[in-house]
Amino acid sequence: MLNLHRVIKNNLVSSLLGRHNRQTTPATTGSPVAPPAARFLGNSKTAMAIDVNAILLKSSTPSAATLFPPFFLVAVEAGSFARGLLLLALYPVLRVMTHETCLKAMIMVAFCGLRRDEAARIGRAVLPRYFFRETERVEALAEVARALPRAVKVAAISRSFPTVMVEAFLKDYVGFDVVDGRERLRDTLNQTEKKSTRCRYPKPMVFHDGRLAFTPTPAAALAMYIYFPFAIVLALVRIAIFTILPRRVTGVAAKLAGVRLRVTGAPPAAADGTGRLYVCNHRTLLDAIAISSSLGKTVFAVTYSLSWLSELISPIPLLRLTRGREEDRRRMTSLLARGDVVVSPEGTTCREPYLLRFSPLFAELADEVSPVAVNERSSMFYGTSTSPGAKCFDSVYFMMNPRPEYSVHFLEPVPTGGRSSSIEVANQVQGMLADALGFTPTALTRKDKYLLLAGNEGTVGTKRSKGK
């Protein structure tokens, strides 16, 4: 085992250090670009520690510019836009500080006064998306952790980031056994020998949270703060277009206001006697509104939980569900008797190109369902959030984007009768939508998302309908 360990270590050192700054591509070598300067700090028969600082910073030379984006994300997502503005205002001073002083200043601004659980949530739900932007380097880093025998435990050491910022990413998505940040730098090899958990491969990035949809470099962050007041006014104008103006003119007015709606496929013919059930994937709270605009008529939308603000500004009628199967069946059947209904069987939004598991209840409500593949484009602000205090502004943030965009693709109707069970129909519809969007279907659920991002199951009390 020791000889094998030495051979693998020597090969990795040669690969990672000897080829530093040399570009290699899958076309010529069959492997991703080697990460820069991953340093092996020590090893024993059963443990190894690797300095991953350069990979996390995407640079072998730490600077204020490379450190700024992740700390800005913590300041804004865990603190506030005001805290982020303070960090941005300090940036010129940070550039002339020594590396250590600059780090201490950024940590103080970003973390001062934050609860540890909130900081940990950002490290778990927001920052992995930032680190994944350099996919080739993440894959190369994961190969380092996977190449060693299972008996060898691998520790990652970051000298620039607190543990809470990088632990979830390096453990859950890359496969390291132990992560030590700058505040816990000590003899990590005594630690790694005590650990037995080992990930076989990095997990795909399915869930993440946070409001910012761009890499917050100092220049990009400054542009955001300059644009912010105009974004609020623009969002109010756009929301007023959809909630106040007659439907026949909303399309033209929204386009003039910078909102783009792309429609493909042929909407199905109107159903006889009852309404048509449209089944779509769930990107934001505006999915049903985009479908309604595409059809040129009002539809009903069902939702499991909704903030008072979203309900107030919605231009279409909404119905809350209870997550009680029989009661929800009764409510949706009643709506179908009155008109067309849009339902999102995922039960929650998903930002990445994945589809969560579809609840099969919709397949038991009508003889035929109409799948609709929807997608959105956010260039500055995400229009979804798992934070209870911020969810009421989801639609507002989406409309604050410079050019928010929705695409709606109507697919062929799917019969629900015959020998197929409701679960089989749900899986069939999920597969159709995944193929149309180029997404990957999964068996993950709303509960999985909220346990990862918010540390709870995402259940909230539902209000009873009027008259009940």
- The pair of structure tokens assigned to 296 is 């040129």
Q: What count of residues does the chain have?
A: 468
pLDDT at position 20 over 60: no
pLDDT at 389: 66
pLDDT at 457: 64
Of 388, 409, 408, nearest to 289 (Cα)?
Answer: 408
Residue 105 CB partners (closer than 8 Å, separation 6+): 90, 93, 94, 97
pLDDT at position 364 over 60: yes
Condensed to tens digits (0 to 9), the pLDDT of residues 125-168 reads 999 888 877 666 677 767 766 776 777 777 888 888 999 999 99
pLDDT at 137: 65
Which range scores top for mean pLDDT: 29-43, 165-179, 425-439, 451-465? Answer: 425-439
pLDDT at 205: 83
Of 460, 353, 354, 371, nearest to 416 (Cα)?
Answer: 371
Which percentage of the chain shows pLDDT scores above 70? Answer: 79
Residue 203 CB partners (closer than 8 Å, separation 6+): 172, 173
Give the integer Cα–Cα distance in Å for 279 and 344. Answer: 6
The amino acid occupying position 161 is F
Element (H, E) at 113: none
pLDDT band with cut points at 50, 70 and 90 for residue 176 = confident
**Average pLDDT of every residue of the chain:** 81
- The pair of structure tokens assigned to 361 is 């209840």
Lowest mean pLDDT among 11-15, 177-181, 268-272, 429-433: 11-15
Burial of 345 (0-12, 13-18, 19+ CB in 10 A): buried
DSSP state of 261: E
Give the integer Cα–Cα distance in Å for 305 and 324. Answer: 13
Lowest mean pLDDT among 84-93, 97-106, 289-298, 381-390: 381-390
Separation of CA 262 from chain center: 23
- The pair of structure tokens assigned to 180 is 């030590």
pLDDT at position 33 over 60: no
Sign of the C-alpha dihedral computed for residues 104, 107, 110 and 112 taken in this order: negative
Of 265, 453, 206, 445, nearest to 345 (Cα)?
Answer: 445
Give the integer Cα–Cα distance in Å for 88 and 68. Answer: 9
- pLDDT (mean) for 413-422: 86
Q: Is 169 helix (H, G, I), strand (E, B) or coil?
A: helix
DSSP 44-82: -SSEEEEE-HHHHHTSSS--HHHHHHHHHHHIIIII-HH
pLDDT band with cut points at 50, 70 and 90 for residue 284 = very high
